[in-house]
Structure 1
Amino acid sequence: MTAVSRTTASPAPSSGGTVASVLDSIGFTRAQFWVFLLVLAGEFFDTLEQNSVGAMATHIKGSLQITDVQLTAINTATVIGGLVGRFLAGLLADRYGRRFSLSFNLLIYTLGGLLSAVAFDYDMLLVSRLIVGIGIGGEFMIGIVMLSEMVATRFRGIAIGAINVGAGGLGNFLSYGLFLLLLGPLETPLGGGDAVWRWSFVILAVPALLVVLYRRRLPETPRFLLSKGRVEDANRSLAILASDSLRPTQERPKVELTLEDLPPVPFRSSPAAVFHRLVLRRTVALGLASWMAFGSQVTLNFLMPTLLVERGYSVSESLLYTMIMNIGSLLGATTAAVIAGKVGRRAAVTVAGVLGCLTALAFAAFGNGTATILMLGALFQFFTMVTNTTLATWTAEVFPTAIRASGASIVNGIGNIAGAVMPFLAVALYGSFAFAGVFGLAAVMYAVLVLAARFAPETRGRSLEDVNEKTLAPAGATPAHQNPSGGNTWKP
């Protein structure tokens, strides 16, 4: 994406428009590019942190004298924390703003990471990873929701897809390169096997503090401000987004919003509204798809290094091979970003899901030799990332502004639950059927994902208001400027 500078000054700003039309008119500016980078930075650390325990599993087990089941429980604690964090972050983002929630998430994550570094036993590490999970839980979806509300309709899918290129794709690839470096050449200088994993947690936590400091310059999204009736603040936010930097500006947007431009309010800002009959089909469809897609991804990323070690590969070999497989993740996320503006969400998820299912079946049948493991593993990661990147974009598009953060976080949290549950089932299947059991499970999950995707609305090329407020608002719904408390005409 290339940032395009636009002039925001206008001698006589016109009034009457929508957030979508104003954003569509300014294109993609340098200010929006800075928003993109600040969101990406947090997502990148999120990915590194999610992969850390799996990559350092052997060292943690040896240092704290814990079993495979306890190690899996540590991953589960992180995932459960992520579920709590997603729910909390969505609630905070819908009530107090996307910017507040995003900074809060990263601060909690940093605290948990530093506690992990000094954990003196299994129980303390378990608690610290729970805190880490709470911190990173809301980071992913709140960042994507924020970005989706701040860019033009035609750039929305590409921008969100590009976040996953940097975080999910490049992040997954570089994370294993980083851990290979830390657990290889740098292991002895960092104190050996008992200390290197602790330093790894510090290295991941400290830079995140810098991101928190820079995120203070992020503007709030104009859609959130408008949903709260803060029209003047929404116009200021639009003026910043139309400029060349994130510094506050005295300029005005070319088209100013007024109270008459506020859309109807079909929902009050409440997590319960995510399960209202008007959006229940969307919640269930994408929630089930997220369970299958994110559950299989978390399971395989967490277990792959350990599974390779237990098949006779060294720790260094397992990390190197896992990194090679994640080249597929990088290419998959890039592909999803490139096609986001050209291919519908449903079509992308369906095709990638079917091919991912077939690849998993091939892995289950033929994944024995090193070359076959690397090839099929990379191919599976490719289709996984196409699916997950598209689902993340889709999830941020199918809820009204008042409940967008809560809705996206809850749907993504359903996938988070799968990440807590499915590794236990995968470990059991691996014990009985080796790789065939693990990837056979993944194949079944992807088949269900494809069916679930049929029931969510297509969003490509449509404004968020067209997908949501205009479509979902019941007849006679109260206009937002007549109902500033955020109420509505129905009872959940």
Structure 2
Amino acid sequence: MTVSDRLDSLPATREHWRLVVLSGLGWMFDAMDVGLVGFVLVGIGRDWHLKATDLGLILSAGFFGLFVGALGAGRLADRYGRRALFLATLLIYSLGTGLSALAWNLPSLLLFRFIAGLGLGGELPVASALVSEFAPATARGRMLVILESFWAYGWILAAIVGLGIVPTLPVWGWRVAFAVGALPALAVLYLRRRLPESPRYLAVTGHVDEAISIVRQLEQAAGVAPVALEPTPAAQAARASTWERLARLWSRPLVRRTLMLWLLWFGIVFSYYGVFTWLPQLLVARGLTVARSFTYVFITTLAQIPGYFSAAYLVDRWGRKPTLVLYLLGSAVAAYLLGNAGTAPILVLWGCLLSFFNLGAWGVVYTYTPELYPTPLRASGAGAAAAFGRIAGIIAPYLTPWLLSSAGLSQPAVFALFMAVFVLTALDVLLLGEETRGEPLERIAPTELAATPLR
């Protein structure tokens, strides 16, 4: 039995869930930062007399950081380890968010949002790779969707801060909001110092004794007797260059998976950030007060939680592929209904439906992505897919106000565009995706795939 075999055969223990919680807390504050931007744009635009397109640049600067962070951190995590990058990305995020509170003009804020995006973009694919490599095969989907569910708690915190601080502090509200987002993340950074490195990563990079030591701790936590473990051959891909790694992602054994994931990430990021980062502004444009619009966004945010937990239930019972297709199509229907909502209560109803399906789909995306790549390429593959998606994150926040103002489209027409993107993304998964439910990682993506000769 190898280290990977043993990890998949163990039951889920308190140590596994501790890893999920400590990873999830950082994820929560990352989400809080993204959510806060949507709430503070109103205050920033008012204080600095900015146009809607200028506010879109603030969002796009953060997403450009997400793109660079996801691409760079994935490669570094495969080279230097998951744990080191896990800690570094949270520190960078905290620094960027704290500096955002001190911004003195638009260019300085764009720079600080880029730095915050670097940390956020790097943490998410590395965190999902780390948890997927610890989780037993039968519980992997549930654990990763629960990890992603911390995103909802971050948005809820963002809504609470947005409701409690931004409207009540007309001048300093948005600065205080950014400071509140930075400080708790530093506490999580302190707690994470005791997290172990991924045993799978240690095994394939030649640190077999360290990997076995961590497996023994998990065996002890599960109350089972230790078993003899065979060494795992070290993978040369761990020392490959960035371009060699990208080339391997598009090699013949992995090309279908990479194409499916890149299209999936682009579609879901484009639709999510095109809708949710502008939702408070869109509500204000419909004649609601800032406080009232924030209240409605808070209500729709609460619907994310049952969306995550329903997906967590289905993903290990029904499967990744059918669950993801269902939730993407549900998002498409909800986006169309939201764009055509006439009254405030109906708008909240369809907003809740969109939150339910869309965030449930996100939970499956973060489960599915790291499973499809071998361990030496897992963080690089997840990071590259996320980075390609972040290109859509750069485009969408700027495109939405442009479509509504310069292009003269109505809100129903813009939301119809997002509906179409959701449908096309579901077709991508349906036609190119493959099922991974309950399969050991090494059976889904053997380590040998990382060393396939490039042609």
Q: Counterpart of 1:109?
A: 93
Contact 1:29 1:243 in 2 (8 A): no
Q: Which amino acid aligns with 2:357?
A: F
Q: Counterpart of 2:271?
A: 296
Q: Does 1:447 align with 2:419?
A: no
* Aligned-partner Cα distance in 2 for 1:418–1:379: 23
Within-5 A mapping of 1:297-312: 297-312=272-287
Contact 1:150 1:241 in 2 (8 A): no
Structure 1 position 63, deviation (Å): 1.9
Structure 1 position 267, deviation (Å): 8.1
Contact 1:349 1:390 in 2 (8 A): yes
Q: Does 1:405 align with 2:379?
A: yes
From 312, 321, 343, the counterpart of 1:369: 343
Structure 1 position 287, deviation (Å): 0.9
* Aligned-partner Cα distance in 1 for 2:122–2:149: 19
* Aligned-partner Cα distance in 2 for 1:268–1:333: 37
Structure 1 position 425, deviation (Å): 2.5
Structure 1 position 346, deviation (Å): 1.0
Contact 2:219 2:226 in 1 (8 A): no
* Aligned-partner Cα distance in 1 for 2:73–2:334: 35
Contact 2:251 2:454 in 1 (8 A): no
Size of the aligned set, in residue pairs, is 448
Q: Which amino acid aligns with 1:386?
A: G
Structure 1 position 54, deviation (Å): 1.1
Contact 1:173 1:323 in 2 (8 A): yes
More helix by share: 2
Segments of structure 1 that go 5 or more residues without pairing to the other structure are 1-16, 246-250, 474-486
Structure 1 position 202, deviation (Å): 1.1
Contact 2:79 2:239 in 1 (8 A): no
Q: Which amino acid aligns with 2:454?
A: K
Q: Counterpart of 2:446?
A: 469
Rate the CA distance shift 1:268–1:400 in 2: closer, same or farther, 3 A: farther
Q: Counterpart of 1:236?
A: 213
Structure 1 position 36, deviation (Å): 1.2
Q: Counterpart of 1:170?
A: 153
Contact 1:158 1:337 in 2 (8 A): yes
Provide Cα deviations, 1:423-451, integer angstroms capped at 9, x if missing partner. Answer: 23322333333320221111110111011
* Aligned-partner Cα distance in 1 for 2:79–2:284: 46
SS at match of 1:56: helix
Structure 1 position 242, deviation (Å): 3.3
Q: Which amino acid aligns with 2:296?
A: Y
* Aligned-partner Cα distance in 2 for 1:256–1:100: 29
TM-score, L = length of structure 1: 0.87
Q: Which amino acid aligns with 1:328?
A: A
* Aligned-partner Cα distance in 2 for 1:131–1:61: 21
Q: Which amino acid aligns with 1:352?
A: Y
Contact 2:370 2:378 in 1 (8 A): yes
Contact 1:336 1:389 in 2 (8 A): yes
Contact 1:289 1:448 in 2 (8 A): no
Provide Cα deviations, 1:179-232, integer angstroms capped at 9, x if missing partner. Answer: 211224xx3xxxx32212111111111111111122111110111001102111
Provide Cα deviations, 1:248-280, integer angstroms capped at 9, x if missing partner. Answer: xxx997124322x44877886443222222212
Within-5 A mapping of 1:383-462: 383-431=357-405, 432-453=408-429, 454-462=431-439
Deviates more, 1:59-68 or 1:367-376: 59-68
From 57, 61, 66, the counterpart of 2:45: 61
Q: Counterpart of 1:476?
A: none
Q: Which amino acid aligns with 2:401?
A: V
* Aligned-partner Cα distance in 2 for 1:241–1:77: 41
Identity rate, percent: 30
Q: Which amino acid aligns with 1:151?
A: A
Within-5 A mapping of 1:479-490: 488=451, 490=453
Within-5 A mapping of 1:325-344: 325-344=300-319
Q: Counterpart of 1:258?
A: 230
Q: Counterpart of 2:335?
A: 360
